[in-house]
Chain A
Amino acid sequence: MNAQFKKGVLELLVLESVRARDMYGYELVEEISGAIDVKEGTIYPLLKRLTNEHYFETYLRESTEGPPRKYYRLTAAGIMRADELRREWFEFQQGVCTFLEEHGHE
């Protein structure tokens, strides 16, 4: 798949995944990788950027399977950002689909 497509939509997918439930890094990487083929190395820096921009907040939760895990939770600003991206995505998708339909039959 085109790398630019994946890059553009990654932030939306990450925000929507964490919106459903709090997740730790590995869990989130697995979930996103199941949807789109993306380098795992791109997700951690994205999580760090979104945390620095206060869309996420993090906390440690003890784990029975090893050291404590860092969980990510969406903040109120993150919810607003996710809604904004979601709206933009649907508008963009609709516009592109309409364009392709019109030019596909020429």
Chain B
Amino acid sequence: MNKTEFLLTLQKQLSLLEDEEQRDIIDEYSQHIDMKVEKGLSEEEAIKEFGDIDQLVSDILGAYHVKAPSTVGDSNAQDAQQAPVVNTEKILEGSKLAAANAAAATKKSVSKLKDVAENLKSKLASREKPTVQNAEEAQNEKPGILTRFRVFLGKTFNGILRGSSSLGSGIAGMAITLIRWCWNALVACTAACFLLCALALLFTLGFCVVLLIQGYPIAGICLCALGLLLVSLSISLLVIRLIKRNPKRKASEYTASSNSGLKDTDSPLAAANTAPICANSTASI
């Protein structure tokens, strides 16, 4: 077998692979044969050194996790003839099983839908009944989730109203509080995410530094991990600073601090400090 025949046979048996991969493999073997010929061997001798071509194809396809098609042997031929029959039987069995499973699944889903519909009907029917029942029976009944939520909302609303001077300021205060809470929750979640990222990057950096010390060429990866770690930390700190504090709490703290400042004037030390000034002022008069 000469070089052209060998390469054609190889290409034909590697037709399962992509064109680019086939070309790459063929070029490599062609170059190898050319170098062998330059060394003084003939094409046939160079090709013989590769060994059995079927084994070669099998090894090459194995590198791509592809099973080589069987080409020789009566038993293989018989298996090949029997294989389609066995395969169709298996396919029929599989399809029957799939159909049975699908039928069972549809029956289940239909029965579940029926149950849900019946539950809804009974709930709707029970909702109409309270208009006919007595007031005592209605009170004794356990309130629904919706009713309890409404009660909770009402209590909260009344509590806020008692604290505020007017209805409008109460609603505005509640809205502002809710918005602030939502904002703080979002900011806290974002900061937590970045902190987790920073932690993971710190671990990665430590691992990469250990490998770098052992001699692996991963300095670039280490620098990237360090850079990303610093970025994550700085972003999380920036995000934490965006947390909005309650302005009323701020104001109360300010007044508390200013009150504590005023109270200090009652102490003897404060009196001693102020006395010379008074004495000086009287002297000047």
**A residues adjacent to B (C-beta < 8 A):** 25-26, 29, 39-42, 44-46, 48-49, 52, 66-67, 69-70, 76, 79-80
Contact = CB atoms under 8 A, between A and B. Distances in A.
B32 interface: yes
Minimum-distance CB pairs A-B, first 6 = A41-B50, A49-B63, A45-B59, A39-B51, A48-B63, A41-B51
Given A25-B32, A48-B25, A42 B64 contact: no
A42 B51 contact: yes
A105 B51 CA distance: 40
B49 A40 contact: yes
Contacts of B218: 76
| Interface residue SS majority, chain A | helix
B59 A41 contact: yes
A67 B31 CA distance: 8
| Interface residue SS majority, chain B | helix
Given A41-B55, A42-B59, A44-B28, A52 B49 contact: no
Contacts of B69: none
Interface in B31-64: 31-32, 34-35, 49-52, 55-56, 59-60, 62-64
Contacts of B28: 25, 44, 70
Contact of A41 (B24, B35, B56, B63): B56
Given A44-B29, A44-B60, A80-B216, A66 B34 contact: yes
Contact of B50 (A25, A40, A52, A67): A40
8 contacts: A26-B32, A29-B32, A41-B51, A42-B59, A45-B59, A66-B31, A70-B27, A80-B216
A42 B60 CA distance: 9
A45 B60 contact: yes
Contacts of A48: 25, 60, 63-64
A46 B27 CA distance: 16
A46 to B, nearest CB: 8
Given A41-B55, A52-B64, A76 B216 contact: yes
A49 B34 CA distance: 23
B217 interface: yes
